[in-house]
Amino acid sequence: MSVRDRMLERVREAVRDREAAEHPGAFEGWRSTAALHPVDGLVQLLEAAGGEVVRQPDVAAATAWLASFCVDFESSAVGETVPDALRPPLPLGAPDTAPLGVSRARGAVAETGSLILDARDGRRAQLLVPTHVVFVHTRGVYATLREALIDLADDLPSAIGFHSGPSKSADIGQILVKGVHGPGRLVAVLIDGGD
Amino acid sequence: MSFTGPGNYRQEAAKTIRDKPEVRTSITAATRTFDAHRVQAWGQIDADRWRDWARDVKSHVLGHLDEYLEQAEERLTANGAQVHWAETAADALAILGDIVREHGVESAVKAKSMLSEELGVNRHLESLGVHVRETDLGEYIIQLLDQPPSHIVGPAIHLSVDDCRRLFHEKLGTPLDAEPDELAGAARDALRAEFLAADLGISGGNFLAADTGTVALIENEGNIRLSTSLPRVHVALVGIEKLVPKLEDVSGLLQLTARSATGQPIGNFVSLIQGPRKSDEVDGPDEVHVVLVDNGRTKLLADDVAWEALRCVRCGACLNICPVYRQTGGHAYGWPYSGPIGAIIAPGMLGLEEAMPLPFASSLCGACTDVCPVRIPIPELLVHWREKAAEQGLTPPTETLGLKAYAKLAQSPELFAAAGSVLRRMPLELGGRALPVLGGWMQERSAPKSSKKSFLRMWKEGIE
């Protein structure tokens, strides 16, 4: 018998005479306080977690914002799925040396304040840069994590990353520090209109 | 320095309290902060309903574990990941060894994984000539100090900022008065180079969704995302109890784990990993291996009472609230899982004799079960193991004799009255110490003065 079959047999043997519990059904995120409008909830949690939030009415306004934001940077690493209008007007840099990374999120989650980053956008530009700008359309904001996961399950890349704030740690004497490994600065740009 | 087993708990705990009083200060401060954050985070939700739900999902999985394991294997394989089965730590290490040899691995970066501590991954890889680097900041610190973790979530909470300053000064050349930001920056630089050079990334897994074959990981630093994204090979070590039926179920468990561990709505980074890089992706590992590990878990699952401990999501809330854990931190427990949860899974996973005296390292106050997000009845399980220990003759013979004698006395009114009369006349300082069960207890406590009359006599005469 293979190790696999032996392990499965041990599992079956262990619970043979025990009545198994029913699955309790969907997780509904029961709250003691009323939930905010999803976009407001997203903004509140991202900021509470140490992220920065910028809101733009449409793509053209976001393009203009990006141009002014980029003056402080010399180069940037850019995600594969970032549309031309949202590519920074900067020389392209490698993710491990560029001071700025720009990604497009597949959506966001209000309940947890998370930006949904797809591996197809390229992981290194999401992780190695000290400052990470993420564009997301507000119509892609899910109210709950469960709704997001149900949708994602239909089209999963090799990996999804939920980014809900900058990289942080309190492992040195319980004192909070930012930018330990991943981006120490997370800027979420919420775009209301256009595509 | 590594763990030597729970057997020396009493001596190690005493030694920590006596020789390193600052550990108790650090641990107590950190765990109180963790717990205060949990209280606040639970206050924003209907925590009772979340906990009922989480308990039921995990119990459901544990009752159908064979089916979910098979489903997860099938889905992971379809995703292009390679699934391995490890009955023992030796199996798991052999699987890792094969991967190391096949890929000519020279260096590995590790994301924090309690299972890897349990299996002894670092020592094994080093014996194969692999340079292993812990990348979680806390794990990195204790790796530099050659210490094991002292807490499930905060492995270095027993250390002060000054401890870290001295260490980083010695190892990384930072000034002795450097602030935490500067220390973290030095660690970032040192570790970044290792991330970029590593051939292999090793992680654990918080959850494994069977319907999509997804390994879910939660963290705040980003080192897990890096460890699972940069090296060409990623190995996820996953205990078989981590299975979850559906990816959508992970939504509740991730949030409840974060709220219970650190009081956050979720960790700042979550990874959902299905398999290796696909053809339309520019980066990510070429191979993903998922090692499903038993190593004592089915033994615990087979125990009709203690199996409930396998619901644990490793949030550390029971450690944070535990008045016993707070005195010493985790090192005294002698194996990676400390505090109340460690004391109830050790007997099942290691064997009761090996786990002694951990089921006794508790006052049975019950605070742990009040904060457990998956409602593990921890005090009941502690008592369960204590009963088994007494049955198997693993408790001190004096205790068994003392309790037997008491049972005899308590069943006979005449004998009970006579014994009471003797004890009342004996100075309790002496009498207490002479009694087998009270001896140790009396060393730390002064006795009350005994009454001249017995309770029975006062009762008969009428109590005002």
pLDDT tens readout for residues A134-143: 999 999 999 9
Question: Which pLDDT belongs to residue B119?
Answer: 97
**Domain ranges, ordered by start, for chain A:** 37-191
Tokens 């793509």 identify what position?
A59
- Cα distances (Å, whole numbers) of residue A180 to A100, B69, B140, B221: 16, 35, 12, 6
Q: Class assignment of domain A37-191?
A: alpha beta
Q: Do B221 and A168 touch (CB under 8 A)?
A: yes
Q: In this predicted complex, what is the ipTM? A: 0.98
Q: Do A24 and B69 touch (CB under 8 A)?
A: no
Read off the DSSP letter of residue B45.
B
- Chain B residue with Cα closest to A20: B63
Q: How far apart are alpha carbons B338 and B95 in whole angstroms?
A: 27
Q: What is the per-residue pLDDT across A135-192, written as a single tens digit (0 to 9) for each?
A: 999 999 999 999 999 999 999 999 999 999 999 999 999 999 999 999 999 999 999 9
Q: Do B268 and A11 touch (CB under 8 A)?
A: no
User: Which of helix, strand or coil describes residue B20?
Assistant: coil
- The pLDDT mean for chain B works out to 94
- Confidence class of residue B391 from pLDDT cuts 50, 70 and 90? very high
- Chain A residue with Cα closest to B164: A172
List the alpha helices (DSSP H) in B104-199.
114-119, 121-127, 137-145, 161-172, 180-197
Of A15, A114, A177, the CB nearest to B266: A114
Tokens 């340079």 identify what position?
B131
Question: Which pLDDT belongs to residue B291?
Answer: 98
Q: How far apart are alpha carbons B55 and A149 in whole angstroms?
A: 21
Q: Do B49 and A30 touch (CB under 8 A)?
A: yes
**Taking a C-beta distance cutoff of 8 angstroms, is the pair B267, B218 a contact?**
yes
Residues 6+ apart with CB under 8 A from B427: none
Nearest Cα to A183, choosing from A42, A46, A51? A51
- Cα distances (Å, whole numbers) of residue A193 to A58, B150, B171: 5, 50, 52
Q: How far apart are alpha carbons B17 and B301 in whole angstroms?
A: 35
Q: What is the per-residue pLDDT across A98-129, written as a single tens digit (0 to 9) for each?
A: 999 999 999 999 999 999 999 999 999 999 99
Tokens 């087998």 identify what position?
B436
pTM of the model: 0.94
Q: How far apart are alpha carbons A30 and B45 in whole angstroms?
A: 6
- Confidence class of residue A132 from pLDDT cuts 50, 70 and 90? very high
Angle of helix B21-43 versus helix B9-19 axis, rounded to 10: 100
Mutation for B interface: A11, A19, A36, A109, most B CBs within 10 A: A11
Q: Residue B456: CA atoms inside 13 Å, Cβ hemisphere, count?
A: 9
**Domain ranges, ordered by start, for chain B:** 397-461
The yes-or-no verdict on residue B12 having pLDDT over 60 is: yes
Q: What is the per-residue pLDDT across B64-88, written as a single tens digit (0 to 9) for each?
A: 999 999 999 999 999 999 999 999 9
Distance of CA B351 to the CA centre of its chain: 17
Q: What is the per-residue pLDDT across B125-135, written as a single tens digit (0 to 9) for each?
A: 999 999 999 99
